[in-house]
Structures are given as structure tokens and as C-alpha cells.
């Protein structure tokens, strides 16, 4: 699914890029990190593209990273370089490998990118740019760099390097979910009755059952959301018990699947969390078709990855605790037509930030700012002006 999204985004990128007299250079960056070493085949755990204005060494640079999506060709990279800034589209060892994600190692890999910006690129100010799911990852990074707080999952240990992360200077959230467990739970279908059978359904909790809506009555919404949280907790209960069983058998971990995760009521009922988004739409098109299909966030996990990334109870990928430790100048951007991130998500992020200097901006556009045609350059202009006003000169 995400590779398809990436291909669509790449195709759109050139179509919506404005003409500019600034020549942009791209540099392929590869790095090891404190816990990630070069593979015997020769590839590095951390890879990315550094965009900069040709012949210049910017004083301020952005770094954008996601939990698993390749951000090396992020659409903002060339746009920010055209405006005089550096931009590192950075990938950790977990690009394309969501099922094995562990937060502590992702944070250490992000630190490697920041160290390159400061030590090799000569950057003085670093801007954490958290786009979509990447916003809570970048919030976790700055939180941990400010006040080490994450704990190991399932009796593991934390590498010392995760307590020694270099902090950044600015934080930007754009088109972002509050956190990884939050978005999975908000999209999770609570009508599934058997986790081993993706076709099982309880009609009384089925958002696609016309008897329930849309529109959905407030009492149904309340019952539905409680059932979503209960499903997340049931999976966590099973994971903890299964991990003990696996250990007793002499193992360490195992893979399992999570089905039906395109079932947010807001996808069908635009009166809930109103915005300009289209009705009956998710990032994969028709929500019911997507929900019963094989693609979705969190669809494959190890037991430990579930505890690290997706569990409401144990994950340190929840946004609000980390946002409460961020005192950097912070900018939150949300478009009015996003089919999967909603106005309340941006408001939650803004409210949770501890920054005295914080800004919430709403703009036109879809999740990728592919439409309208001027959405991306307008946001690039906004970001450039906001950072410059706070001393982050190009």
C-alpha cells in the first residue's frame, strides 16, 4: 500500500513543483548509527537525500523521517532548498520494515542524521519536520533528547545511545496523527469478532451496516469508540500472553496479523469532526473495499513491535506525552481536505505542545498537498517565513 502511495506521490511531485531560478542539488547520504551497522552486503541502515541550494551551505536544515515510509524524496525537499534551506529526507533501518519497528533504534538512527547535518553539512539550526505518522516519531525524538523517558518493552534493555540524543531547534507537525496507537485505534474496526478471521463481523458494531448509519447517532459513536479501544487492549492482552508462551518454548518473538483497519466513522460521516474532506473516502479509496482488503497500517507485526508501536497501553509512540515535553518553537499545519487526518487531530497536537511559541495553521489541500496545484509552494513559503522569523536563517 505505502509503496503505491509513494509512487503516486512521486508522479505528482514534478507536476506541482513551481518554477524556480534556484538550482537544487541532491546528495545521497548513508550512515551507520550507534546500534545500526553496515550490512555484510554493503548497505547502510540509515539512508537519505540531502537537498540544498547549489553552491551554498545552509545554516538551517530540516530533517523529515517516518516510522516506515521512505521520505528520501519528500515533496518538500526541493521546495525548501529552492528557498535557501537544507532538507534531509531521512530513512531509518525500518523503511519498508514496519513489522519489525522498535522505537529506541529508530530514534538512534534519527540522531545519526542530525549529527551528519551538524558535523558534515555545517548546519547550525535543525528543524524536526514531522509529516503524517512521522510527527509523533519526531515528537518522541525531541522528547527523549530533552528528558530521556522511554522504557524497554517486554523485559528488554535500552541501548545507552538512546539517552544521549542531540536535541533539535524547531518542531513542525504537518498533516499529522496524534500518535501511532491513536491512529490505528481510530481506524480499527471493532466489529471484527475473531482476530484470525478477517471476514468475521458483529452487525451491531459494523459501520458499514446501513442500520447503524451514516449519519451515526451519538450513542453509537460512543459505543463504537469504546469498542475500538477494547479491541486494541484485547490484542495487547493476547500479545503479552503469547510472548510468555513463545519464551517458554525457547523462542524470542513471532509475527502476527491485524485485520480491518480502515473503519474510522469519520470516513463515512463528515458531520463528525467536520472538514472539507470527501465523504466515503480513505487513502485507499472506498473505505469498505480497503477495510476488507489486505493492506493497512499495522497489518503485520512482531509481538514486540506491537508493544513498541501500536499498543495503547505500552507504546511510547503516543504523541501527547512527548508533545508535553517539547518547548521548542512549534508549527502545526493541517489541511481542510485530508481524508485521514482530521481537525481535532491537529488541535490535539497543538494543545499538547508545551511550547510558549506555537502556531496552528489550516490550509487548503488533501493529505499530500497534491491539490490544489499551489498547495505545496504555499506551505513551503509559510514554513520558510515561520522559521526565518524565529532566527532560522537559510
The per-residue pLDDT for 19 is 43
The per-residue pLDDT for 129 is 98
The per-residue pLDDT for 99 is 96
Task: State the helix-helix crossing angle for 134-146 and 103-119, rounded to 10 degrees.
Answer: 80
- Length in residues, the chain: 394
Q: Which domains does the chain have, with CATH numbers?
A: 2-179+317-389 (3.40.50.1820), 184-310 (no CATH)
Between CA 331 and CA 354 the distance in angstroms is: 12
At 319-369, the pLDDT tens digits run 999 999 999 999 999 999 999 999 999 999 999 999 999 999 999 999 999
pTM: 0.93
The per-residue pLDDT for 174 is 98
The per-residue pLDDT for 9 is 45
In b/e form, how buried is each residue of 229-263, taking b as 16+ CB within 10 angstroms? bebbeebbeebbeebeeeeeeeeeeeebebbbbbb
Between CA 113 and CA 314 the distance in angstroms is: 27
Q: Which of 267, 259, 256, 269 is nearest to 201 (CA)?
A: 259
The per-residue pLDDT for 22 is 83
pLDDT in tens, the chain (394 residues): 444 444 334 434 443 444 456 899 999 999 999 999 999 999 999 999 999 999 999 999 999 999 999 999 999 999 999 999 999 999 999 999 999 999 999 999 999 999 999 999 999 999 999 999 999 999 999 999 999 999 999 888 999 999 999 999 999 999 999 999 999 999 999 999 999 999 999 999 999 999 999 999 999 999 999 999 999 999 999 999 999 999 999 999 999 999 999 999 999 999 999 999 999 999 999 999 999 999 999 999 999 999 999 999 999 999 999 999 999 999 999 999 999 999 999 999 999 999 999 999 999 999 999 999 999 999 999 999 999 999 999 9
Q: 388: which 3 cell numbers?
A: 526565518
Q: What would the 3-class secondary structure string for the chain be?
A: CHHHHHHHHHHHHHHCCCCCCCCEEEEEEEECCCCCCCCCCCCCCEEEEEEEECCCCCCEEEEECCCCCCCCCCCHHHHHHHCCCEEEEEECCCCCCHHHCCHHHHHHHHHHHHHHHHHCCCCCEEEEEEECCHHHHHHHHHHHHHCCCCCCCCCCCCCHHHHCCCCCCEEEEECCCCCHHHHHHHHCCCCCCCCCCCCCCCHHHCCCCCCCCCCCCHHHHHHHHHHHHHHHHHHHHHHHHHHHHHHHCCCCCCEEECCCCCCCHHHCCCCCCCCCCCCCCECCECHHHHHCCCCCCCCEEEHHHHHHHHCCCCCCCCHHHHHCCCCCCEEEEEECCCCCCCHHHHHHHHHHCCCCCEEEEEECCCCCCCCCCCHHHHHHHHHHHHHHHCCCCC
Between CA 309 and CA 107 the distance in angstroms is: 13
Amino acid at each position: 500500500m505505502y509503496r503505491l502511495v509513494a509512487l503516486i506521490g512521486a508522479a505528482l511531485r514534478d507536476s506541482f513543483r513551481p518554477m524556480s531560478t534556484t538550482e537544487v542539488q541532491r546528495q545521497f547520504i548513508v550512515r551507520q548509527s550507534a546500534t545500526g551497522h553496515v550490512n555484510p552486503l554493503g548497505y547502510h541502515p540509515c539512508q537519505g537525500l540531502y537537498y540544498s541550494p547549489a553552491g551554498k551551505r545552509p545554516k538551517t536544515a530540516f530533517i523529515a523521517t517516518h516510522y516506515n515510509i521512505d521520505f528520501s524524496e519528500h515533496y518538500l525537499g526541493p521546495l525548501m532548498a529552492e528557498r535557501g534551506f537544507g532538507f534531509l529526507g531521512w530513512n531509518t533501518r525500518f523503511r519498508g520494515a514496519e513489522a519489525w519497528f522498535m522505537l529506541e533504534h529508530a530514534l538512534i538512527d534519527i540522531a545519526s542524521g542530525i549529527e551528519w547535518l551538524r558535523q558534515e553539512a555545517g548546519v547550525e539550526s535543525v528543524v524536526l519536520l514531522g509529516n503524517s505518522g512521522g510527527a509523533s516519531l519526531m515528537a518522541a525524538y525531541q522528547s527523549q533528547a530533552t528528558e530521556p523517558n522511554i522504557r524497554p518493552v517486554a523485559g528488554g534493555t535500552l541501548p545507552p545511545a538512546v539517552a544521549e540524543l542531540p536535541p533539535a531547534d524547531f518542531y513542525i507537525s504537518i498533516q499529522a496523527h496524534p500518535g501511532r496507537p491513536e491512529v490505528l485505534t481510530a481506524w480499527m474496526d471493532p466489529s471484527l469478532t475473531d482476530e484470525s478471521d478477517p471476514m468475521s463481523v458483529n452487525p451491531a458494531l459494523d459501520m458499514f451496516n446501513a442500520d447503524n448509519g451514516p449519519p451515526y447517532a451519538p450513542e453509537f459513536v460512543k459505543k463504537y469508540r469504546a469498542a475500538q479501544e477494547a479491541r486494541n487492549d484485547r490484542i495487547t492482552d493476547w500479545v503479552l500472553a503469547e510472548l510468555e508462551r513463545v519464551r517458554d518454548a525457547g523462542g524470542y518473538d513471532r509475527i502476527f496479523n491485524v485485520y480491518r483497519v480502515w473503519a474510522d466513522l469519520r470516513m463515512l460521516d463528515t458531520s463528525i469532526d467536520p472538514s472539507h474532506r470527501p465523504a466515503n473516502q480513505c487513502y485507499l479509496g472506498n473505505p469498505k473495499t480497503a477495510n476488507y482488503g489486505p493492506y493497512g497500517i499495522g497489518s503485520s507485526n512482531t509481538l514486540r513491535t506491537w508493544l513498541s508501536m501500536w499498543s495503547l497501553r505500552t507504546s511510547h509512540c503516543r504523541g501527547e506525552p512527548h508533545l508535553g515535553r517539547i518547548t521548542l518553537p512549534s508549527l502545526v499545519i493541517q489541511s481542510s481536505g485530508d481524508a485521514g487526518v482530521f481537525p481535532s487531530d491537529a488541535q490535539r497536537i497543538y494543545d499538547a505542545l508545551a511550547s510558549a511559541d506555537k502556531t496552528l495553521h489550516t490550509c487548503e489541500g488533501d493529505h499530500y498537498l497534491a491539490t490544489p496545484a499551489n498547495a505545496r509552494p504555499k506551505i513551503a513559503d509559510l514554513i520558510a517565513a515561520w522559521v526565518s522569523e524565529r532566527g532560522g536563517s537559510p
